[in-house]
Structure 1
Amino acid sequence: MHLREPGQTHKEDFSSGTAAALSGGVTTVLAMPNTKPPLVDADSFQLALDAAAQKAYCDYGIFAGANLTNAAEIPAVAPHAAGLKMYLDVTFGPLLLDDTTAWMQHFEHWPTARPIVAHAEGANIPALIFVANLFNRPVHICHVARRAEIEMIRAAKEKGYPVTCEVGPHHLFLSSDDFERLSQNGKYPGRKEV
């Protein structure tokens, strides 16, 4: 869940996000690390922990964020983190991991008892599964959006690779065919395929 705290509370915060979750029957949320500042070190992670402790209405976990330089230090927050989130494709903010060497450093340093989840698309999906397999680690791929990506993950699972994934309802039910009806002054184009 993108609770946007710290730094973007005009969009969402722990109070509004967890209250909305409860009103929809959701009793636990997991906050993403792409905040301002991003949750990539002990200090920024503590800001989110403090905000959640004061404002959350339901159970919560907070993901630590991987970046190009924090593989050795971010494991310090692992005991308090829901897991490590890796952004391997275009994302908002400074969390893009566009170097597979950095991926491998995170797989090497992040505690094996804590999950690694990733935003990965297209060719990065088999590359991610390969790296996870090198380190004998499971990996969860977030919000898969294309049929070909699901097929790659299915093939990896059939070969015994420990990979899981999820999809968002908007990726299942919306496409570029819905663009005109849903667009806001030409922003937010949909995808052609699922």
Structure 2
Amino acid sequence: MKTLIQNGTVYTNGQLIHTDVLIDGDQIQALGDFGDLGDEVGRVINASGRLVAPGLVDVHVHYRDPGQTQKETIRTGSAAAAHGGFTTVGAMPNVEPAPDTPERVAEMAKRNREEGLVHIAQYATITTGRSGDQLVDFAGVKEAGAFAVSNDGSGVQTAGTMYQAMQGAAAAGLPLAAHVEDNSLLFGGVMNEGERSRQLGVPGAPSVSESAQVARDLVLAKATDVHYHICHVSTKESIAMVRFAKQQGVNVTCEASPHHLLLADKDIPAGDSNYKMNPPLRSEEDRQALLAGLLDGTVDMIATDHAPHTVGDKPGDFTKAANGITGSETAFAELYTKLVKTGICSLTKLLDLLTAKPADLFGLDQAGHLEPGKPADIAIFDLDHESEIKQEDYWSKGINTPFTGDRVYGATVMTLVDGQVVYERKED
């Protein structure tokens, strides 16, 4: 039976058009003005006044499953993604045991299919156990289902290891997504070193802990021709180096997170560990550089770095709290409200950064596009009415976000995966 989404403003091929979307089974059949199709359609969804977009794509989430399921599971994490309008996500490999062998990757891919409410692409690690210098079998993990490799949460500390990893990933045709952080430059810091860290009396780490490793890796990436992807870029120096490297033909992409685009270290209230993440919130100058990079194409995509923790993981003591905030359920509304409605970024640009760009650059060829023949992965958003982000509405196990209580536009109304509704907002 077919489904018809009528009267919406549809984002397709980089444009916003007023049209209907006809779904046949798990695929988009056609776009157009279909009127009344009678018994041919089993459900008509009225999208009048709504944005109808390709399901959002997030190449950076943490589902904690297996090993830390008190924080999140595949089921709850993917439900949170659906609540935020995401239909394809990339699950990072910092779970226990880590997917560092073809067998473990295959098992994770199987569980993702069976337990996920959205499409979950699986990262393998770069090194065994996500630490040390023992490289994984790159060809083997790709054959088993990995779409990319990453040690996210830990920077690869040894240049020789990274060089060999890039060679192996390039040979296997796998993107290498790097958490860029030189541990020797942290000096015990738990937030960005600057005026705010001194005001709060919290140990600060210099931003060169990121940019120094970016510099190293860009040279290695040019030498190996790997697709080198920088996770959660956060400093003005990193942006400048990526911009230059692209001009020199380096195959580099990078992502920015909503929290680094919208917040700076000056926004951190004393004692609120929901503002603690890694990389930390940087200076306002860094934030403005990220926004400039987003607008000029240096930043290729937005990714949430959804990182749920228990309440016990986030005590009031900033120095002892775990790094990370949730992001799947707040990302689109926060970005639309604070970037699009304020005139900083166009809606089409934001949607491109959240759909086609991540899908195309990571080879997720069934995601990111709303057009005939593609899977019916669709998100419908309410751009016209303000709502409050409430803790009780989260589908994730994690409530660790500084965005709770914000009043925003762009709430998700409905999310479909393969033509099936996996989230639908309850109307008041």
Cα displacement (A) at 1:153: 0.5
Comparing 71-80 and 132-141, the one that deviates more: 71-80
Comparing 25-34 and 49-58, the one that deviates more: 49-58
Distance 1:180 1:72 in 2: 41
Higher radius of gyration, 1 or 2:
2
Question: Which structure exhibits the higher relative contact order, with contacts defined as CA atoms closer than 8 Å and separated by 6 or more residues?
Answer: 2
Higher strand share: 2
Contact 1:5 1:48 in 2 (8 A): no
**Distance change (3 Å), C-alpha of 1:60 and 1:71:** same
Aligned counterpart, 1:171: 260
TM norm structure 2: 0.41
- Structure 1 stretches lacking a partner, 5+ long: none
**Distance change (3 Å), C-alpha of 1:149 and 1:156:** same
Cα displacement (A) at 1:146: 1.0
Identity within the alignment, %: 28
Aligned counterpart, 2:173: 113
**Distance change (3 Å), C-alpha of 1:151 and 1:43:** same
Is 1:131 the counterpart of 2:220 in the alignment? yes
Distance 2:211 2:282 in 1: 14
- Structure 2 stretches lacking a partner, 5+ long: 1-60, 181-209, 287-428
Aligned counterpart, 1:81: 146
Contact 1:40 1:74 in 2 (8 A): no
Distance 1:45 1:10 in 2: 22
Aligned counterpart, 1:48: 108
**SS where residue 180 of structure 1 aligns?**
coil
**SS where residue 135 of structure 2 aligns?**
coil
Contact 1:139 1:163 in 2 (8 A): yes
**SS where residue 6 of structure 1 aligns?**
coil
What pairs with 1:1-194 in structure 2 (closer than 5 Å)?
1-67=61-127, 68-79=132-143, 80-87=145-152, 91=153, 95-110=154-169, 111-120=171-180, 121-180=210-269, 183-184=272-273, 188=276, 190-193=280-283, 194=286
Distance 2:213 2:234 in 1: 13
Higher helix share: 1
**SS where residue 117 of structure 1 aligns?**
strand
**Distance change (3 Å), C-alpha of 1:142 and 1:59:** same
Cα displacement (A) at 1:48: 2.1
TM norm structure 1: 0.86
**SS where residue 152 of structure 1 aligns?**
helix
Structure 1's consecutive aligned runs of 4 or more residues displaced over 6 angstroms after TM superposition are none
**SS where residue 256 of structure 2 aligns?**
coil
Distance 1:96 1:28 in 2: 25
Cα displacement (A) at 1:60: 1.3
